[in-house]
Amino acid sequence: MNTTPPNAAPAPSLWRQLNRREFWVLVLLTATVAAVSVKNANFCQLSNIRNMLVNAAPTAIVACGVTLVIVTGEIDISVGSLMGLLAAVLGATSSSVYLGWPVGATVALVLALGMAVGFVNGLLVTLGRVPSIVVTLGMMMALLGVTKLFLTGYDDSIDVSRCAPALRWLDKGTVLSIPAGLWIALAVLAAVAFLVYMMPLGRRIYAVGSNPRAAFLAGLSQQRIKLFVFTLTGLLVGVATIVRVPQLAKVESSIGQGLELLVVTCVVVGGTSISGGKGTVFGSLLAVLLLCSIGSVLLFLRLSENATYWEQAIQGGFILAAVLADHLARRRHGQGEGA
């Protein structure tokens, strides 16, 4: 029996989904790199490109999960505070000054805790029928409080240099001259792409977001699919935390603050419709590369001493433009169907 709803958009092919939004993000990214390189040739040095990619890796990992959440018509704004809590747990359990757990046990705990929080979010959204924006906003505030309370027992910060060497290797270590953190990000991207393009579950995720009524009539369980994407997002936040913490000097409660806004901005700018049913992880990845490069671009342009303060303003402008473009596209689509 074919379980794909006839009126639902299937998971799009890899190249066909380089849609107009994604294409223009790619053009803008290319033009930005070219323009800044002309102004300051040091921008394209291998060391700078490498640093930008390494810094963007955790955001890209989280964006893969949030893309699927938004494709189903939901949203998750608790990912930043979840990273903060997981970073505190990772630092405390792996530090030789504190608990000193084996790296394997620490990693397993962080991934399991991330999945558990995502699972709770999914349960409240599906079984509790609470809007996802309300659920994840409440979870965000709760996790922020728990993280601050947790870190009070560790003098409000944890020195990353005292964490296990195997964990710190993820920052400086390389495989085939490529940083370990980038390999992890590439593995996540490949796994999510395989899920979306090669597995029936990927088509069902898009079906639930594009036409919930048709998905229901086809026998698809919206609850199970949404529960899966929220849990997967929690898992990916755990992976991103493991990549992010070794890049830091200290684990503090401020880790992850603002990540949720940055990730949602990247996902929407990358072409994912805020109303669900449309978008790709590749579009989100392009937007991550674009938005995460803004800080470095401003520094290399040397516009002024306060140029970096414009970074959030520029990111905010991007999301406003993307939401407006999405609204106009849906409006034109609706008028076309009405005709």
Cβ(90)–Cβ(154) under 8 Å?
no
With a cut of 50, say whether residue 87 has pLDDT above it: yes
pLDDT tens per residue across span 55-64 = 999 999 999 9
Residue 169 has a CB neighbour count (10 Å cut-off) of: 13
- Is the pLDDT at 32 greater than 90? The verdict is no
Where do the H-state alpha helices sit in 272-310? 281-292, 294-301
Q: What is the pLDDT of residue 230?
A: 97
The answer on pLDDT for 6 being more than 50 is: no
Average of pLDDT values for 278-291? 91
Mean pLDDT across the chain:
85
SS3 percent helix, strand, coil of the chain, rounded to 5, is 75, 5, 25
pLDDT at 29 exceeding the cut of 60 = yes
CB neighbourhood size of 129 (10 A):
8
- pLDDT at residue number 173: 87
- Between CA 315 and CA 186 the distance in angstroms is 24
In sequence order, the 6+-apart residues with CB closer than 8 A to the CB of 141 are: 81
- Residue 157's φ and ψ, nearest 5 degrees, are -160, 160
Q: Which helix (H) or strand (E) holds 251?
A: strand 250-252
CATH fold, domain 20-330, is ABC transporter involved in vitamin B12 uptake, BtuC (1.10.3470)
Q: Which has more pLDDT, 300 or 246? A: 246
Average pLDDT (297-321) is 70
Tell me how far apart the alpha carbons of residues 109 and 43 are, in angstroms, rounded to a whole number.
Answer: 39
Q: Which band of pLDDT confidence, cut at 50, 70 and 90, is reported for residue 16?
A: low
174, containing H or E segment: strand 174-175
Give the number of other Cβ atoms within 10 Å of residue 255's Cβ: 23
SS3 state at 158: strand
Which one-letter amino acid corresponds to residue 166?
Answer: A
**Which of 221-225, 264-268, 276-280, 305-309 comes out lowest in average pLDDT?**
305-309
